[in-house]
Amino acid sequence: MEIPLDDTQMILDNIFVFVCAVLVFFMQAGFAMLTAGLTRAKSVANIVMKNLMDMSVGVLVFAVVGYHIAYSGADFFGFSWLWGGYADAPTADYSLMLPVDFFFQAAFAAAAATIVAGALAERTQFRGYLLYTVFITGLIYPVVVNWQWGGGWLAQLGTPFEDFAGSTVVHSVGGWAALMGAIIIGPRIGKYGADGRPRALPGHSMPLAILGVFVLFIGWFGFNPGSQLAADIEVPRIAVNTALAAAAGAVLAMITSWIVSKKPDVSMAGNGLLGGLVAITAGAFSLDGYGSVVAGAIGGVIVVFSVLGLERAGVDDPVGAVSVHGVCGAWGTIAVGLLANGNAPFLEEGVSGLLYGGGVDLLVTQLIGTVAVFVFVCVAAGLLFSAIKAAGWLRVSPEEELAGLDIGEHGAPGYSFDMGTATGLVVDTPATATEKV
């Protein structure tokens, strides 16, 4: 369709998606604070550096390669499209122009990449991590996007795969890559005692971790409502579903941890809120308010048991990324097959989930998509991390791991407290903080 450049609704759509994309980019700050807060102080600079590079490397690689694999198929390499700037977006059955579509999608790619940072925390070589970032934003994530949002086979199934904002396409891609990375690199030194039982290595700052949770919560209101890709009357309803699921996830995770570990655990509550958000990402449009609460609440419960289960199984995921993004991503996708409410006035297509009398068709499709992405990402990420390991670029030396990665990988400590004194000269120069010139 041809849309005049002064069409008010078209401009409104573009401005709305622009604002939502900014909120999604803000999630990088949330991931950085969450991951930093839930890990130890001695590797904190390395953590935030990885988030910074996921965004920076991710945007460039996605512009040059990833976006084209995801949407234009043929048109590989070079972002010549950035010249014109006025063409409709590749998948334009809506009024978005190409620049804003790329801007929004690039923010998603950066998010998918940075999910893995936490699972590999405190023991990964920086150069190896950079290599991973290039491949997930340039190849692995774009292929999955092409399957669904690029109009690929998942979108062409008899009953089309329903993943509104990416419980599977975005979050589970990051989550399953995190799972493979954590397995292949192995647990941190000291995570498991001589008896093989896991020990708690508490994160160094709950304020930073919960700040990260709040920032991610805010960013999700760009992630889900923005995925409507239009400024229309459905946007607020999608936002309400998102808020209800997040709230239910936090409350249920708190209650579950209270029962399981006798105290309401703060990091579990925070991860529960995120689990609720991931769980509603696929169904933010097709679920009603009741379904959103149910999807989020179950997501919150899943997070607690998944985190404890993976820990017992010997998978050391310092921040719970696999549970939050992988397991809850899968749950949220399947939840659409159970809870989609096609009877509600807002659902034109009228596809319902099993519990709303829609039969098993949608549920089957959701299972197919969930499993297909799981298999593809596990294989692709498995090969990637194995190759990085074979190259000797995956794990740092035990000495460096024990000392912390900040000095070993980046040459300066992440923290350096010199509180001064009223009595004279204080010189607080860490061994490594020598002149760099």
Please answer whether residues 196 and 401 qualify as being in contact, where contact means their C-beta atoms are separated by less than 8 angstroms: no
| φ, ψ dihedrals at 395, nearest 5° | -110, 145
Distance CA 163, CA 172 (A): 11
In the shown chain, the binding pattern of residues 303 to 332 toward its own copies, with x for contact by CB under 8 A and - for none, equals -----x--xx--------------------
State the nearest-atom distance from the C-beta of 395 to its own copies, in Å: 16
Nearer of residues 187 and 203 to its own copies, judged by Cβ = 203
Cβ partners under 8 Å of residue 392, min gap 6: none
State the nearest-atom distance from the C-beta of 38 to its own copies, in Å: 11
Nearer of residues 308 and 363 to its own copies, judged by Cβ = 308
Distance of CA 357 to the CA centre of its chain: 32
Residues numbered 182 to 201 that lie near its own copies (CB under 8 A) are: 189-190, 197-201
- Which has the closest alpha carbon to 364: 354, 373, 376? 354
Nearer of residues 360 and 391 to its own copies, judged by Cβ = 391
Count CB atoms within 10 A of the CB of residue 206. 14
Nearer of residues 390 and 421 to its own copies, judged by Cβ = 421
State the nearest-atom distance from the C-beta of 157 to its own copies, in Å: 28
Distance CA 378, CA 385 (A): 10
Residues numbered 1 to 20 that lie near its own copies (CB under 8 A) are: 5, 8-12, 14-19
Residues numbered 331 to 390 that lie near its own copies (CB under 8 A) are: 341, 344-346
Nearer of residues 392 and 420 to its own copies, judged by Cβ = 420
Of 71, 103, 161, 374, the one binding its own copies by CB under 8 A: 103
Count of chain residues binding its own copies (CB under 8 A): 151
Residues numbered 257 to 276 that lie near its own copies (CB under 8 A) are: 260-267, 269-270, 273
Of 146, 148, 205, 370, the one binding its own copies by CB under 8 A: 205
Please answer whether residues 320 and 272 qualify as being in contact, where contact means their C-beta atoms are separated by less than 8 angstroms: no
As beta bridge partners, residue 124 has: 395
Between CA 364 and CA 368, with CA 367 as vertex, the angle to 5 degrees is 85
Residues numbered 56 to 75 that lie near its own copies (CB under 8 A) are: 56-60, 63
Distance CA 116, CA 133 (A): 9
State the nearest-atom distance from the C-beta of 245 to its own copies, in Å: 10
Distance CA 322, CA 429 (A): 38
Please answer whether residues 329 and 306 qualify as being in contact, where contact means their C-beta atoms are separated by less than 8 angstroms: no
Which residue's entry shows tokens 């919960």? Answer: 210
State the nearest-atom distance from the C-beta of 224 to its own copies, in Å: 11
Distance CA 60, CA 133 (A): 11
State the nearest-atom distance from the C-beta of 434 to its own copies, in Å: 6
State the nearest-atom distance from the C-beta of 386 to its own copies, in Å: 24
Nearer of residues 219 and 369 to its own copies, judged by Cβ = 219
Residues numbered 241 to 260 that lie near its own copies (CB under 8 A) are: 243-244, 246-248, 250-251, 254, 260
Nearer of residues 7 and 93 to its own copies, judged by Cβ = 7
Please answer whether residues 321 and 119 qualify as being in contact, where contact means their C-beta atoms are separated by less than 8 angstroms: yes
State the nearest-atom distance from the C-beta of 228 to its own copies, in Å: 11
Distances (CA, A) of 3 to 87, 231, 255: 10, 16, 51
Distance CA 121, CA 404 (A): 11
State the nearest-atom distance from the C-beta of 208 to its own copies, in Å: 6
Distance CA 109, CA 318 (A): 22
Nearer of residues 187 and 413 to its own copies, judged by Cβ = 413
Residues numbered 31 to 50 that lie near its own copies (CB under 8 A) are: 32-33, 36, 40-49
What letter would DSSP give residue 97? B
Q: Which stretch, 166-174, 365-373, 376-384, 429-437, contacts its own copies (CB under 8 A)? A: 429-437
In the shown chain, the binding pattern of residues 207 to 246 toward its own copies, with x for contact by CB under 8 A and - for none, equals xx-xx-xxx-xx--x---x-----xxxxxxx-xx--xx-x
| φ, ψ dihedrals at 97, nearest 5° | -90, 165
Residues numbered 395 to 424 that lie near its own copies (CB under 8 A) are: 399, 402-404, 406-407, 409-424
Burial class (CB in 10 A: 0-12, 13-18, 19+), 111: buried
- Which has the closest alpha carbon to 217: 292, 273, 281? 273
In the shown chain, the binding pattern of residues 142 to 181 toward its own copies, with x for contact by CB under 8 A and - for none, equals ----------------------------------------
State the nearest-atom distance from the C-beta of 286 to its own copies, in Å: 13
Q: Does 134 bind its own copies (CB under 8 A)?
A: no
Distance CA 165, CA 172 (A): 12
